[in-house]
Amino acid sequence: MIARTYMLIVVGVISLVGCGSRAAPHLEAGESPHVPSPSGWCEAYVVEFDNGPNAQETQVMLSFDGGRGGAGAVTAPGLGLGLVLRWLDPTTLEVQHPKEIQLTYGASGEWLQFWAHKVHVVLRSV
């Protein structure tokens, strides 16, 4: 009985040791300068993530009220996509991208909101 209990403990420990996370870390490859909205309450910027040759992604991020809130606006696979961010007015951000790049809106779609602040994100291929 003691030998059987000991064996179950050893098997359990071996199982736990073998269950370590094998997920690759989400490595940030680069971040663009922040582009503030005309009124200053929102900043837009591009972040690139590199988790290896088959896991590279670029995101346009928004930071609200000095970093108190934030959201991913659009995403696309790959790095160095040549995205250009430009505020058309205090609440409209234009993301210019090469025609061959397919951008996808985040879960909130083309409108993002943080409390009373709303941003409309429009895509323009160039």
pLDDT at 118: 93
Residue 88 pLDDT greater than 70, yes or no: yes
Q: Please tell me the pTM assigned to this model.
A: 0.75
Count of C-beta atoms within a 10 Å radius of residue 32: 16
pLDDT tens profile 18-69: 334 344 455 667 899 999 999 999 999 999 998 877 789 999 999 999 899 9
Mean pLDDT, rounded, of the chain: 82
Distances (CA, A) of 31 to 28, 46, 64, 116: 8, 6, 17, 27
